[in-house]
Amino acid sequence: MKEHFKYPLLVALPLMLILTGFSISPVKEIPAGLMNIIYSPGILITDYLAVGGAGAAFVNAGFCGLAASLMIVILKVNVNGPFIAAVFTVTGFAFFGKNIFNIWPVLIGVWLYSTYMRTSFRNYLIVALFGTTLAPMVSYLAFGSGLSTSISVPVSMFFGILSGFVLPPLASHMLRFHDGYNIYNIGFTGGFSCSSYRCFEKKELKNAL
């Protein structure tokens, strides 16, 4: 299949989810539901269907999937299995954990790394998309740390961007741990990255500030 046919197909699923969200819930309820989702701490077992309602959950998943798909289209990336899996992973986990707010710091961090390395962002796009596995950390630091949002939101943005920045070099080194036998290397890398922030769960961040 030619690329100009793949792009519309890739965008179709997120658009269908957005349309589904607006069709199953009153339009006036969806913005409030999305805000509830965004302000949720985003712990992985958080059910966005319960937090924001079915319509808002579908719209959130659609927006996240659409953002991933449009980046592939804009950067004119060759659509293959890993990129299709990345879009579907971002979309699927946007029903619990990921949302249209918390994915961006990680994506920005990977983009900054590509800028630092003076290479095209498209070379690291697959890392950026799978790297949104760390997005719930952004929401947890922003809205689940117990700090005032004037402090917690900038802190969450900083660590989200920092996580995205270190993901590409870490991912390449993590391959040595499993010799390519882990098909989800970015998730494996994300687990090591998250371990660096466990101190915040014990409120050392609050003591440090």
Domain boundary among 68, 100, 132: 100
Same domain for 166 and 120, yes or no, is yes
Q: Can you tell me the mean pLDDT for 199-207?
A: 45
Using alpha carbons, list the distances in angstroms from residue 174 to 27, 66, 109, 134, 163. Answer: 45, 29, 19, 16, 15
Please choose, from the candidates 99, 102, 124, the residue with its C-alpha nearest in 3D space to the C-alpha of residue 112.
124
Residues 167 and 179 in one domain: yes
Residues 75 and 40 reside in one and the same domain? yes
Mean pLDDT of the chain: 83
Structure tokens that stand for 134 in this block: 């760390």
pLDDT digits 0-9 by tens, 8-51:
888 999 999 999 999 999 999 999 999 999 999 877 678 999 99
With beta carbons less than 8 A apart as the criterion, state whether 138 and 164 touch.
Answer: no
Quote the number of domains for the chain: 2
Task: Show the domain range for 177.
Answer: 101-209
pLDDT tens-digit readout, 79-107: 888 888 889 999 998 998 899 999 999 99
Contact predicate 110/165, CB 8 Å? yes
77 shares a domain with 150: no
Is residue 53 located within the same domain as residue 153?
Answer: no
Single pTM value for the model? 0.82
